[in-house]
Structure 1
């Protein structure tokens, strides 16, 4: 096992670097290469993943708390049952992650300019989070929930939102003509978010 802080550059002749049930606290990884590393049931607290090369890395059952992600390289990253709590994520392109097994959970987090293009995210929970100028394009959000979330500037384009729960969400704009909203849940106070693209004035 290679200590963090040293370059992790697995080659075709090397076995992946594996971390099992390890706790990381206040680690700073800016510009570090964690490509191909494997993390299983690890926890990260107050860690900085800004501009980190995570390409091909595997995170299984990992928890991130109070962590910072600024434009991380997520090409072919496996995120399986990953929990983000009180994290700040900016410019993260989750559409580059491996589709197989993709599973995330966001709690009390702030996401800016993040993309979930073509991600299958059935049942994904977003709780008490702010999604600012994020992009859901051709995403499958069947049964997803946006509990007490604010979504200013976030785009939903050709998404499957069947059964998704927006009852306590705010500041969203969703075009029913461009998205599948069958049995999606809204409250009477936020229905205006479905009409913003039609020039209708609601008083």
Structure 2
């Protein structure tokens, strides 16, 4: 159990790459323009927290609890979300770069990713039922055995999703986005 507890605190422009964020429970805290790249955020507890403009590139989040946590305009390249604590997992993303990140096998029904970049991101075996992806870029993202029932891709771009190996019942796509469902057939749509 964590021995430190912070509530209603704001951490601004802190560099946690050399000295780790103290282990503990953070409730209703804001992290603004903080640097966590290549750092360790493992075994932490974040509840009702917000990360704004932070760099979490390749941060270790193993066993960390994220309960109602929002990431806004953060760089999160290479973050392996499947290593965090799945209990009470509730995430929100706005304008984040999640390229080369991994959500492999995570259960995130109803998640909203707004205006995010997912180049080469792994969504294999993830459950994203009723997920919303407005204005997201999925260039070379991996969907394999992904549950996307009732997900909304109507304004998403650059995705390639094979309907034969993913669950797409009642998922929503724009007419322009249909090509992303047909790429494996190497057909020309005009």
Partner residue in 2 for 1:184 = 171
Q: How does 1:112-151 map to 2 (within 5 A)?
A: 112-151=99-138
CA distance in 2, matches of 1:195, 1:36: 47
**Aligned-pair distance for 1:31?**
4.0
Partner residue in 2 for 1:198 = 185
CA distance in 1, matches of 2:171, 2:22: 38
1:170 and 2:128 matched: no
CA distance in 2, matches of 1:158, 1:57: 30
Q: How does 1:51-90 map to 2 (within 5 A)?
A: 51-90=38-77
CA distance in 1, matches of 2:29, 2:175: 41
CA distance in 2, matches of 1:89, 1:26: 17
Partner residue in 2 for 1:8 = none
1:93 and 2:80 matched: yes
3-state DSSP of counterpart to 1:113: coil
3-state DSSP of counterpart to 1:110: coil
**Please, what is the CA RMSD of the aligned residues?**
1.3
CA distance in 1, matches of 2:10, 2:171: 39
Gaps of 5+ in 2: none
Deviations 1:16-46 (Å, cap 9, x if unpaired)? 2211110011111004334742111100110
Contact 1:108 1:128 in 2 (8 A): yes
Greater C-alpha Rg: 1
Q: How many residues are treated as equivalent by the alignment?
A: 190
Gaps of 5+ in 1: 1-11
Partner residue in 2 for 1:104 = 91
TM-score (norm 2): 0.96
CA distance in 2, matches of 1:153, 1:139: 16
CA distance in 2, matches of 1:165, 1:16: 41
Partner residue in 2 for 1:16 = 3
3-state DSSP of counterpart to 1:146: coil
Which structure has the highest strand share of the two? 1
